[in-house]
Structure 1
Amino acid sequence: MAEHLASIFGTEKDRVNCPFYFKIGACRHGDRCSRLHNRPTISPTLLLSNMYHRPDMITPGVDAQGNPIDPRKIQDHFEDFYEDIFEELNKFGEIESLNVCDNLADHMIGNVYVQFKEEDQAAAALQALQGRFYSGRPIIADFSPVTDFREATCRQYEENSCNRGGYCNFMHVKMIGRDLRRKLYGRYHGYKGSRSRSRSVSPGYRRDYDRRDRDDRDYRGSGRRSGDRHGRYDGDDGGRRRHGSPRPSRSPGREGSEERRARIEQWNRKREERE
Protein backbone atom coordinates (compact mmCIF):
# COMPACT_ATOMS: atom_id res chain seq x y z
CA MET A 1 0.00 0.00 0.00
CA ALA A 2 2.82 2.39 0.91
CA GLU A 3 4.54 1.68 -2.41
CA HIS A 4 1.31 2.37 -4.28
CA LEU A 5 0.80 5.70 -2.51
CA ALA A 6 4.38 6.69 -3.24
CA SER A 7 3.98 5.81 -6.91
CA ILE A 8 0.92 8.05 -7.39
CA PHE A 9 2.11 10.95 -5.21
CA GLY A 10 1.63 14.28 -6.97
CA THR A 11 -0.35 12.76 -9.87
CA GLU A 12 -4.03 12.98 -10.78
CA LYS A 13 -4.56 9.61 -9.08
CA ASP A 14 -3.44 11.08 -5.76
CA ARG A 15 -6.66 12.09 -3.99
CA VAL A 16 -4.85 13.65 -1.02
CA ASN A 17 -2.17 15.97 -2.43
CA CYS A 18 -2.86 18.54 -5.15
CA PRO A 19 -0.90 17.64 -8.31
CA PHE A 20 -1.08 21.14 -9.77
CA TYR A 21 0.32 22.77 -6.65
CA PHE A 22 3.07 20.14 -6.59
CA LYS A 23 4.01 20.75 -10.25
CA ILE A 24 3.52 24.50 -10.74
CA GLY A 25 3.26 25.90 -7.22
CA ALA A 26 -0.22 27.31 -7.93
CA CYS A 27 -3.76 25.95 -8.10
CA ARG A 28 -6.84 27.52 -9.64
CA HIS A 29 -8.89 26.51 -6.60
CA GLY A 30 -6.56 28.28 -4.15
CA ASP A 31 -7.37 27.68 -0.48
CA ARG A 32 -10.69 26.10 -1.50
CA CYS A 33 -8.92 23.14 -3.12
CA SER A 34 -10.10 19.78 -1.77
CA ARG A 35 -6.54 18.43 -1.83
CA LEU A 36 -3.53 19.40 0.27
CA HIS A 37 -1.13 22.14 -0.76
CA ASN A 38 2.11 21.14 0.95
CA ARG A 39 3.87 24.47 1.26
CA PRO A 40 7.65 24.02 1.62
CA THR A 41 9.45 25.59 4.56
CA ILE A 42 12.62 25.90 2.45
CA SER A 43 13.24 25.73 -1.29
CA PRO A 44 15.70 27.11 -3.86
CA THR A 45 12.69 28.53 -5.75
CA LEU A 46 10.59 31.58 -4.91
CA LEU A 47 7.21 32.46 -6.39
CA LEU A 48 6.42 36.17 -6.75
CA SER A 49 2.69 36.04 -7.38
CA ASN A 50 1.00 38.24 -10.04
CA MET A 51 4.04 40.52 -10.20
CA TYR A 52 4.35 41.22 -13.93
CA HIS A 53 1.66 43.48 -15.38
CA ARG A 54 1.92 43.61 -19.15
CA PRO A 55 0.68 46.76 -20.96
CA ASP A 56 -2.00 44.74 -22.78
CA MET A 57 -3.24 43.03 -19.63
CA ILE A 58 -6.96 43.50 -20.38
CA THR A 59 -6.95 42.58 -24.09
CA PRO A 60 -3.85 41.02 -25.71
CA GLY A 61 -2.30 43.43 -28.21
CA VAL A 62 -4.44 46.38 -27.12
CA ASP A 63 -3.88 49.00 -24.41
CA ALA A 64 -6.41 50.09 -21.78
CA GLN A 65 -7.78 52.77 -24.17
CA GLY A 66 -8.40 50.21 -26.91
CA ASN A 67 -5.45 51.25 -29.10
CA PRO A 68 -3.24 48.60 -30.74
CA ILE A 69 0.25 48.21 -29.22
CA ASP A 70 3.30 47.45 -31.30
CA PRO A 71 4.47 43.92 -30.33
CA ARG A 72 8.03 45.23 -30.12
CA LYS A 73 6.96 47.71 -27.41
CA ILE A 74 5.33 44.89 -25.47
CA GLN A 75 8.53 42.85 -25.70
CA ASP A 76 10.67 45.85 -24.72
CA HIS A 77 8.42 46.46 -21.71
CA PHE A 78 8.79 42.82 -20.67
CA GLU A 79 12.57 42.75 -21.10
CA ASP A 80 12.91 45.95 -19.04
CA PHE A 81 10.92 44.24 -16.28
CA TYR A 82 12.90 40.99 -16.58
CA GLU A 83 16.27 42.77 -16.35
CA ASP A 84 15.08 44.86 -13.43
CA ILE A 85 13.94 41.82 -11.45
CA PHE A 86 17.03 39.80 -12.34
CA GLU A 87 19.46 42.51 -11.26
CA GLU A 88 17.68 42.97 -7.93
CA LEU A 89 17.44 39.27 -7.09
CA ASN A 90 20.97 38.55 -8.29
CA LYS A 91 22.20 40.50 -5.26
CA PHE A 92 21.27 37.49 -3.10
CA GLY A 93 23.07 34.80 -5.10
CA GLU A 94 23.42 33.05 -8.42
CA ILE A 95 20.15 32.67 -10.32
CA GLU A 96 19.70 29.39 -12.16
CA SER A 97 16.44 30.40 -13.83
CA LEU A 98 13.98 33.28 -13.83
CA ASN A 99 10.66 32.45 -15.46
CA VAL A 100 7.70 34.78 -16.02
CA CYS A 101 4.30 33.31 -16.84
CA ASP A 102 2.38 34.53 -19.88
CA ASN A 103 -0.80 32.79 -18.66
CA LEU A 104 -4.06 34.69 -18.17
CA ALA A 105 -5.78 32.67 -15.42
CA ASP A 106 -6.01 34.53 -12.10
CA HIS A 107 -3.79 32.10 -10.18
CA MET A 108 -0.97 32.30 -12.75
CA ILE A 109 -1.12 35.68 -14.47
CA GLY A 110 2.14 37.57 -14.04
CA ASN A 111 3.68 34.91 -11.78
CA VAL A 112 7.47 35.14 -11.51
CA TYR A 113 9.51 32.08 -10.50
CA VAL A 114 13.14 32.56 -9.51
CA GLN A 115 15.32 29.55 -8.81
CA PHE A 116 18.58 30.19 -6.97
CA LYS A 117 21.57 27.90 -6.92
CA GLU A 118 21.35 27.57 -3.13
CA GLU A 119 18.39 27.33 -0.78
CA ASP A 120 19.86 29.81 1.69
CA GLN A 121 20.13 32.39 -1.11
CA ALA A 122 16.42 32.01 -1.76
CA ALA A 123 15.74 32.34 1.97
CA ALA A 124 17.73 35.58 2.13
CA ALA A 125 15.87 36.98 -0.87
CA LEU A 126 12.51 36.02 0.64
CA GLN A 127 13.32 37.77 3.90
CA ALA A 128 14.44 40.93 2.10
CA LEU A 129 11.30 41.07 -0.07
CA GLN A 130 8.89 41.00 2.86
CA GLY A 131 6.96 44.26 3.12
CA ARG A 132 8.40 45.71 -0.09
CA PHE A 133 6.61 47.13 -3.11
CA TYR A 134 7.24 47.14 -6.83
CA SER A 135 5.65 49.77 -9.05
CA GLY A 136 3.30 50.70 -6.22
CA ARG A 137 2.08 47.15 -5.59
CA PRO A 138 3.07 44.91 -2.67
CA ILE A 139 5.39 42.00 -3.51
CA ILE A 140 3.78 38.67 -2.57
CA ALA A 141 6.63 36.17 -2.25
CA ASP A 142 6.84 32.65 -0.87
CA PHE A 143 8.81 29.45 -1.27
CA SER A 144 7.64 27.31 -4.18
CA PRO A 145 7.71 23.51 -4.45
CA VAL A 146 8.78 23.78 -8.11
CA THR A 147 12.36 22.63 -8.60
CA ASP A 148 12.07 21.01 -12.04
CA PHE A 149 10.54 23.31 -14.64
CA ARG A 150 10.37 20.44 -17.14
CA GLU A 151 7.29 19.26 -15.26
CA ALA A 152 5.82 22.74 -14.92
CA THR A 153 6.04 24.18 -18.44
CA CYS A 154 3.66 23.54 -21.32
CA ARG A 155 5.35 21.68 -24.14
CA GLN A 156 2.62 22.60 -26.61
CA TYR A 157 3.14 26.31 -25.89
CA GLU A 158 6.85 25.98 -26.66
CA GLU A 159 5.84 24.41 -29.97
CA ASN A 160 3.20 27.11 -30.61
CA SER A 161 0.46 24.49 -30.58
CA CYS A 162 -1.31 24.87 -27.20
CA ASN A 163 -5.04 25.06 -27.90
CA ARG A 164 -5.88 26.23 -24.36
CA GLY A 165 -4.29 29.62 -24.86
CA GLY A 166 -3.56 31.76 -21.83
CA TYR A 167 -5.86 29.67 -19.64
CA CYS A 168 -3.68 26.56 -19.83
CA ASN A 169 -2.94 25.07 -16.41
CA PHE A 170 0.78 24.68 -17.13
CA MET A 171 3.31 27.48 -17.42
CA HIS A 172 3.48 29.50 -20.61
CA VAL A 173 6.93 30.97 -20.00
CA LYS A 174 7.60 34.26 -21.76
CA MET A 175 10.93 34.33 -23.57
CA ILE A 176 13.59 37.04 -23.51
CA GLY A 177 15.93 37.81 -26.38
CA ARG A 178 19.27 36.10 -26.85
CA ASP A 179 21.28 39.27 -26.24
CA LEU A 180 19.62 39.98 -22.91
CA ARG A 181 20.01 36.35 -21.83
CA ARG A 182 23.71 36.45 -22.65
CA LYS A 183 24.08 39.75 -20.78
CA LEU A 184 22.36 38.52 -17.62
CA TYR A 185 23.42 34.88 -17.40
CA GLY A 186 26.80 35.30 -19.10
CA ARG A 187 28.29 36.57 -15.83
CA TYR A 188 28.05 33.08 -14.35
CA HIS A 189 30.85 30.56 -14.64
CA GLY A 190 30.01 27.77 -17.07
CA TYR A 191 27.45 29.73 -19.13
CA LYS A 192 27.55 28.34 -22.67
CA GLY A 193 25.67 31.12 -24.41
CA SER A 194 22.68 29.06 -25.54
CA ARG A 195 19.84 28.44 -23.17
CA SER A 196 16.28 27.31 -23.38
CA ARG A 197 13.49 29.33 -21.72
CA SER A 198 14.22 27.74 -18.40
CA ARG A 199 17.86 27.22 -17.54
CA SER A 200 16.82 24.15 -15.58
CA VAL A 201 15.68 22.47 -18.80
CA SER A 202 18.48 20.77 -20.68
CA PRO A 203 18.63 21.73 -24.39
CA GLY A 204 16.99 19.11 -26.55
CA TYR A 205 15.28 17.44 -23.61
CA ARG A 206 11.53 17.66 -23.25
CA ARG A 207 9.34 15.44 -21.11
CA ASP A 208 6.38 13.87 -22.85
CA TYR A 209 3.54 16.03 -21.58
CA ASP A 210 0.87 14.29 -23.66
CA ARG A 211 0.16 11.97 -20.70
CA ARG A 212 -0.71 14.84 -18.42
CA ASP A 213 -4.24 15.52 -17.30
CA ARG A 214 -4.83 19.17 -18.02
CA ASP A 215 -7.82 20.38 -16.30
CA ASP A 216 8.86 54.92 -12.18
CA ARG A 217 11.98 53.14 -12.98
CA ASP A 218 13.81 54.42 -9.93
CA TYR A 219 14.70 52.59 -6.76
CA ARG A 220 13.49 54.36 -3.66
CA GLY A 221 15.59 53.39 -0.68
CA SER A 222 16.64 50.02 -2.10
CA GLY A 223 20.38 50.64 -2.07
CA ARG A 224 20.54 50.41 -5.89
CA ARG A 225 23.86 51.05 -7.59
CA SER A 226 24.21 54.27 -9.55
CA GLY A 227 24.02 53.65 -13.27
CA ASP A 228 21.37 50.92 -13.14
CA ARG A 229 18.58 51.71 -15.57
CA HIS A 230 15.50 50.00 -14.25
CA GLY A 231 13.59 49.46 -11.06
CA ARG A 232 10.50 50.40 -9.15
CA TYR A 233 11.18 48.91 -5.76
CA ASP A 234 10.22 50.46 -2.45
CA GLY A 235 11.65 49.34 0.88
CA ASP A 236 14.98 48.74 2.54
CA ASP A 237 17.88 46.46 1.69
CA GLY A 238 16.64 43.69 3.94
CA GLY A 239 20.11 42.78 5.21
CA ARG A 240 21.73 41.71 1.95
CA ARG A 241 25.10 40.01 1.95
CA ARG A 242 27.84 42.59 1.45
CA HIS A 243 30.41 42.34 -1.29
CA GLY A 244 33.43 40.39 -0.09
CA SER A 245 31.65 38.58 2.72
CA PRO A 246 31.91 34.79 2.79
CA ARG A 247 29.50 32.88 0.56
CA PRO A 248 26.92 30.83 2.44
CA SER A 249 27.65 27.16 2.65
CA ARG A 250 26.34 25.16 -0.28
CA SER A 251 23.14 23.26 0.18
CA PRO A 252 22.85 19.59 -0.82
CA GLY A 253 22.47 18.75 -4.52
CA ARG A 254 19.39 19.93 -6.36
CA GLU A 255 16.36 17.86 -5.53
CA GLY A 256 14.43 16.11 -8.27
CA SER A 257 10.81 15.08 -8.20
CA GLU A 258 11.42 11.89 -6.21
CA GLU A 259 13.38 13.71 -3.50
CA ARG A 260 10.74 16.44 -3.32
CA ARG A 261 7.98 13.83 -2.98
CA ALA A 262 9.91 12.14 -0.16
CA ARG A 263 10.30 15.46 1.65
CA ILE A 264 6.59 16.27 1.35
CA GLU A 265 5.66 12.80 2.63
CA GLN A 266 7.87 13.53 5.65
CA TRP A 267 6.04 16.83 6.20
CA ASN A 268 2.71 14.95 6.09
CA ARG A 269 3.88 12.44 8.70
CA LYS A 270 5.06 15.21 11.02
CA ARG A 271 1.73 16.99 10.63
CA GLU A 272 -0.15 13.82 11.50
CA GLU A 273 2.04 13.28 14.58
CA ARG A 274 1.33 16.82 15.80
CA GLU A 275 -2.39 16.33 15.32
Structure 2
Amino acid sequence: MTQSQLQEHFDTFYEDIFIEISTKYGEIEAMNICENLGDHLLGNVYIRFSSEEEAGIAVEALNQRFYSGRPLYAELSPVTEFREACCRQNENGECTKGGFCNFMHPKEPTPKLKKDLFAAQREMSQRGSNSRPTAYEAVATTTVLWDQLQILIIVFLIT
Protein backbone atom coordinates (compact mmCIF):
# COMPACT_ATOMS: atom_id res chain seq x y z
CA MET A 1 0.00 0.00 0.00
CA THR A 2 1.32 3.46 -0.85
CA GLN A 3 1.72 6.27 1.69
CA SER A 4 -1.14 8.08 -0.01
CA GLN A 5 -3.45 5.07 0.37
CA LEU A 6 -2.44 4.61 4.01
CA GLN A 7 -3.20 8.28 4.70
CA GLU A 8 -6.56 7.96 2.94
CA HIS A 9 -7.45 4.94 5.09
CA PHE A 10 -6.37 6.75 8.23
CA ASP A 11 -8.36 9.86 7.28
CA THR A 12 -11.46 7.70 6.82
CA PHE A 13 -10.96 6.20 10.28
CA TYR A 14 -10.31 9.62 11.88
CA GLU A 15 -13.41 11.09 10.25
CA ASP A 16 -15.58 8.15 11.29
CA ILE A 17 -14.50 8.33 14.93
CA PHE A 18 -14.68 12.14 15.08
CA ILE A 19 -18.20 12.32 13.65
CA GLU A 20 -19.52 9.47 15.77
CA ILE A 21 -18.12 10.86 19.01
CA SER A 22 -18.85 14.55 18.44
CA THR A 23 -22.43 14.06 17.30
CA LYS A 24 -23.38 11.65 20.08
CA TYR A 25 -21.40 12.69 23.14
CA GLY A 26 -20.28 16.28 22.91
CA GLU A 27 -17.85 18.81 21.57
CA ILE A 28 -14.35 17.52 20.87
CA GLU A 29 -11.64 19.96 21.90
CA ALA A 30 -8.84 17.74 20.58
CA MET A 31 -8.38 14.20 19.29
CA ASN A 32 -5.15 12.23 18.92
CA ILE A 33 -4.70 8.76 17.51
CA CYS A 34 -1.44 7.00 18.34
CA GLU A 35 0.67 5.41 15.68
CA ASN A 36 2.95 3.85 18.31
CA LEU A 37 3.52 0.11 18.03
CA GLY A 38 3.96 -0.67 21.74
CA ASP A 39 1.15 -2.75 23.25
CA HIS A 40 0.09 -0.06 25.73
CA LEU A 41 -0.38 2.63 23.04
CA LEU A 42 -1.29 0.69 19.88
CA GLY A 43 -4.76 1.70 18.73
CA ASN A 44 -5.31 4.31 21.41
CA VAL A 45 -7.58 7.23 20.61
CA TYR A 46 -7.32 10.22 22.95
CA ILE A 47 -10.21 12.66 23.06
CA ARG A 48 -10.50 15.86 25.06
CA PHE A 49 -14.07 17.06 25.50
CA SER A 50 -15.16 20.58 26.32
CA SER A 51 -16.82 19.48 29.57
CA GLU A 52 -16.33 16.87 32.26
CA GLU A 53 -20.00 15.89 31.98
CA GLU A 54 -19.64 15.09 28.27
CA ALA A 55 -16.50 13.09 28.98
CA GLY A 56 -18.28 11.00 31.60
CA ILE A 57 -21.24 10.32 29.34
CA ALA A 58 -18.91 9.30 26.52
CA VAL A 59 -16.92 6.88 28.67
CA GLU A 60 -20.05 5.21 30.00
CA ALA A 61 -21.61 4.84 26.55
CA LEU A 62 -18.45 3.84 24.69
CA ASN A 63 -17.77 0.97 27.06
CA GLN A 64 -20.96 -0.58 25.70
CA ARG A 65 -19.98 -0.10 22.05
CA PHE A 66 -18.12 -1.96 19.34
CA TYR A 67 -16.15 -0.66 16.37
CA SER A 68 -15.63 -2.92 13.37
CA GLY A 69 -16.75 -5.88 15.44
CA ARG A 70 -14.37 -5.21 18.33
CA PRO A 71 -15.27 -3.85 21.77
CA LEU A 72 -14.27 -0.34 22.72
CA TYR A 73 -12.62 0.27 26.07
CA ALA A 74 -12.97 3.82 27.36
CA GLU A 75 -11.60 5.37 30.51
CA LEU A 76 -11.03 8.82 31.94
CA SER A 77 -7.53 10.22 32.21
CA PRO A 78 -6.25 12.75 34.74
CA VAL A 79 -4.02 14.29 32.05
CA THR A 80 -5.58 17.49 30.77
CA GLU A 81 -3.14 18.45 28.04
CA PHE A 82 -2.05 16.26 25.12
CA ARG A 83 1.25 18.10 24.86
CA GLU A 84 2.40 16.57 28.15
CA ALA A 85 1.83 13.04 26.83
CA CYS A 86 3.34 13.53 23.35
CA CYS A 87 6.94 12.72 22.49
CA ARG A 88 8.70 16.01 21.87
CA GLN A 89 11.54 14.24 20.08
CA ASN A 90 9.02 12.73 17.66
CA GLU A 91 7.63 16.20 16.94
CA ASN A 92 11.12 17.15 15.77
CA GLY A 93 11.58 13.88 13.88
CA GLU A 94 14.34 12.83 16.28
CA CYS A 95 12.82 10.03 18.42
CA THR A 96 15.25 7.12 18.50
CA LYS A 97 12.70 4.70 19.99
CA GLY A 98 10.37 4.93 17.00
CA GLY A 99 6.97 3.28 17.38
CA PHE A 100 7.99 1.69 20.67
CA CYS A 101 8.40 5.00 22.50
CA ASN A 102 6.40 5.31 25.74
CA PHE A 103 5.14 8.77 24.79
CA MET A 104 2.42 9.42 22.24
CA HIS A 105 3.34 9.62 18.58
CA PRO A 106 0.08 11.01 17.21
CA LYS A 107 -0.76 10.33 13.58
CA GLU A 108 -2.23 13.40 11.94
CA PRO A 109 -5.11 13.46 9.50
CA THR A 110 -4.72 15.64 6.44
CA PRO A 111 -4.89 19.30 7.53
CA LYS A 112 -7.96 20.02 5.38
CA LEU A 113 -9.92 17.12 6.88
CA LYS A 114 -9.09 18.19 10.43
CA LYS A 115 -10.00 21.81 9.69
CA ASP A 116 -13.28 20.78 8.02
CA LEU A 117 -14.32 18.47 10.86
CA PHE A 118 -13.72 21.05 13.58
CA ALA A 119 -15.45 23.75 11.48
CA ALA A 120 -18.46 21.49 10.90
CA GLN A 121 -18.60 20.72 14.62
CA ARG A 122 -18.63 24.46 15.42
CA GLU A 123 -21.36 25.03 12.84
CA MET A 124 -23.43 22.18 14.25
CA SER A 125 -23.03 23.57 17.75
CA GLN A 126 -24.15 27.03 16.61
CA ARG A 127 -27.15 25.66 14.69
CA GLY A 128 -28.20 23.26 17.42
CA SER A 129 -28.01 19.48 17.49
CA ASN A 130 -31.16 18.96 15.38
CA SER A 131 -29.56 20.00 12.11
CA ARG A 132 -26.24 18.67 10.93
CA PRO A 133 -23.92 20.52 8.58
CA THR A 134 -23.06 19.02 5.22
CA ALA A 135 -19.58 17.88 6.26
CA TYR A 136 -21.19 15.47 8.72
CA GLU A 137 -23.60 13.86 6.27
CA ALA A 138 -21.21 11.49 4.52
CA VAL A 139 -19.83 9.16 7.16
CA ALA A 140 -17.49 6.67 5.53
CA THR A 141 -18.35 3.02 6.03
CA THR A 142 -15.24 1.59 4.42
CA THR A 143 -13.38 -0.99 6.48
CA VAL A 144 -9.93 0.44 7.03
CA LEU A 145 -6.63 -0.90 8.28
CA TRP A 146 -7.07 0.95 11.57
CA ASP A 147 -10.26 -1.04 12.19
CA GLN A 148 -8.17 -4.10 12.92
CA LEU A 149 -6.79 -2.62 16.12
CA GLN A 150 -8.32 -3.04 19.52
CA ILE A 151 -9.32 0.50 20.29
CA LEU A 152 -8.87 2.10 23.67
CA ILE A 153 -10.48 5.49 23.93
CA ILE A 154 -9.03 7.67 26.64
CA VAL A 155 -11.11 10.70 27.46
CA PHE A 156 -9.31 13.75 28.78
CA LEU A 157 -11.04 16.07 31.23
CA ILE A 158 -10.89 19.83 30.94
CA THR A 159 -10.04 21.47 34.24
The residue matched to 2:75 in structure 1 has which SS?
strand
Greater RCO, 1 or 2 (C-alpha within 8 Å, sep 6+): 2
SS of equivalent residue, structure 2 residue 81 = coil
Report deviation, 1:118: 0.2
- Find the counterpart in structure 2 of residue 106 from structure 1: 39
Q: Does 1:166 align with 2:76?
A: no
Higher strand share: 2
Q: How many residues were matched structurally?
A: 131
CA drift of 1:227 comes to: 4.4
Structure 2: which 5+ residue stretches go unaligned? Answer: 124-135, 143-156
* Structure 1: gaps spanning 5 or more residues: 1-68, 190-225, 233-252, 256-275
Distance 2:35 2:54 in 1: 26
Moved >6 Å (runs of 4+) = none
Q: Which amino acid aligns with 2:44?
A: N
Distance 2:17 2:84 in 1: 24
Greater helix share, structure number: 2
**Equivalent residue runs for 1:189-268 within 5 Å:** 227-231=137-141, 254-255=158-159
Residue pairs, 1:143-182, within 5 angstroms: 143-182=76-115
CA distance in 1, matches of 2:92, 2:22: 30
Whether 2:27 is the aligned partner of 1:117: answer no
| Alpha-carbon displacement from aligned partner over 1:25-46 (angstroms, at most 9, x marks no partner) | xxxxxxxxxxxxxxxxxxxxxx
Q: Which amino acid aligns with 2:86?
A: T
2:26 is matched with which residue? 93
**Aligned partner letter, 1:166:** G
Residues 130 and 231 (structure 1), Cα distance of their counterparts in 2 relative to 1, 3 Å cut: farther
TM superposition shift of 1:229:
2.6
Query: Considering only CA atoms, is the larger Rg found in Structure 1 or Structure 2?
Result: 1
Q: Is 1:72 paired with 2:37?
A: no
Query: What's the offset of the Cα at 1:186?
Result: 1.5
8 A Cα contact 2:37 2:100, kept in partner: yes
Q: RMSD of aligned C-alpha atoms?
A: 2.0
The 5 A counterparts of 1:36-51 are none
Partner of 2:14: 82
Q: Could you tell me which amino acid in structure 2 is paired with residue 112 of structure 1?
A: V
Distance across 1 between alignment mates of 2:66 and 2:5: 24
TM-score by length of 2: 0.76
Deviations 1:232-273 (A, max 9, x none): 8xxxxxxxxxxxxxxxxxxxx943xxxxxxxxxxxxxxxxxx
Question: How far is the alpha carbon of 1:93 from its aligned partner?
Answer: 1.3
Could you state the TM-score of these two structures normalised by the residue count of structure 1? 0.45
Q: Which whole-Å CA distance do the structure 2 matches of 1:118 and 1:229 have between them?
A: 25
Alignment of 1:24-63 (within 5 A): none
Q: 1:16 is matched with which residue?
A: none
State the one-letter code of the partner of 1:136: G
Q: 2:10 and 2:67 mapped to 1: Cα distance?
A: 15
Question: Aligned equivalents of 2:43 and 2:76: distance in 1?
Answer: 17
